[in-house]
Chains A and B, each alone.
Chain A
């Protein structure tokens, strides 16, 4: 996948404690997403900053992916931090959320 600029950058913390505010921010982003207007089918989400994540955080990502799917788009995590990558794998969500290369990476 080309290293194009991400459409969305994830916060440092992606847990139950920040889920409500993160959801609100993503809803606002979705409503004004320029990539959607441009008709880009893949939404690249940068996960480099995430250093704290739990199941509620991954669920939020899945929810975002489902929202994008409703717009005929696909969420792809890129540049993922180790904690985020490991959490996605441990919860069986790697295939859904990660780029193929990153999903295979250690």
Chain B
């Protein structure tokens, strides 16, 4: 865990809520895998499966639970190939994913006991990762057909996204720190450029120092999907206007992710789905400093894939 990134009081306040929600996601993964045994090509179920794993990984990353992030990343990568039709969900693969899900649950349980320390079973997880990777490297129905027609692809290059994030006025008062969020975004890949919109910050005589006026333009090179980028901002969804512009369609290596769309969150977007409502908690005053109120609201299910 990186001390400078993670507010320890945030961990203490919000970790129980994360653990509870993560266990629900693990249960959903198991249920979805069982449903998929009858309809292994159901895109809706495959999308939901991916989102569950992605949510666990993304939220664990916010809390610095590296073991959860690292292992779930391998599961998520394979699920991404499944939902893109590059792999088929065979009974053998389904069994493997159920075993992986058991390990995710064990890691989540260990996070409760140790605050993020390694759970037992590292060897078992390493073996599962090797099997996941073996599946992932095997040509699927799409790969096999494409291989006969297309020349070998060039080495994948990270796609460059553009993010425009404007944090809301209550960001600081809600206990959020854009610095932590931007550092998390940086962990998704490489940030070759970031600029702060300083013109929107009032002069000292007009500034309410606990009101946030910050906005950023960020270039992000990453191989992660859009959902991973959005997840970095999930804790400020009500306090942030975020526009994500994908890489141009001609970018190498970005493949199916290079679609011409952008997404926008707005503080007035009351119709957003919110299946996660994190608890509110009052932050204890430190040394006479004003007590802070934290409000954690995020969403783990989206209406669009």
* Chain A residues proximal to chain B, CB less than 8 Å: 16-20, 22-23, 26-27, 30, 53-56, 58-60, 62-67, 70, 83, 87, 90-93, 96
Contact = CB atoms under 8 A, between A and B. Distances in A.
14 contacts: A16-B292, A19-B209, A20-B290, A27-B204, A27-B205, A53-B179, A59-B201, A60-B207, A63-B201, A63-B203, A66-B203, A66-B204, A90-B186, A92-B218
Nearest to B178: A55
Contact of A30 (B172, B194, B204): B204
B204 A87 contact: no
B301 interface: no
B205 A91 contact: no
B210 A56 contact: yes
Interface residues of B, number: 32
Nearest to B207: A63
B196 A92 contact: yes
B201 A91 contact: no
A63 B196 CA distance: 12
Given A54-B177, A83-B4, A90-B179, A62 B205 contact: no
Interface string B120-145: 00000000000000000000000000
B302 interface: no
Contacts of B178: 55, 91
B243 interface: no
Contacts of A17: 286, 289-290
Contact of A56 (B172, B198, B218, B289): B172
A92 B194 contact: yes
A32 to B, nearest CB: 14
A87 B204 CA distance: 20
Contacts of A26: 204
A87 B207 contact: no
A59 B214 contact: yes
B87 interface: no
A64 B204 contact: yes
Given A66-B198, A90-B183, A96-B196, A55 B214 contact: yes
B32 interface: no
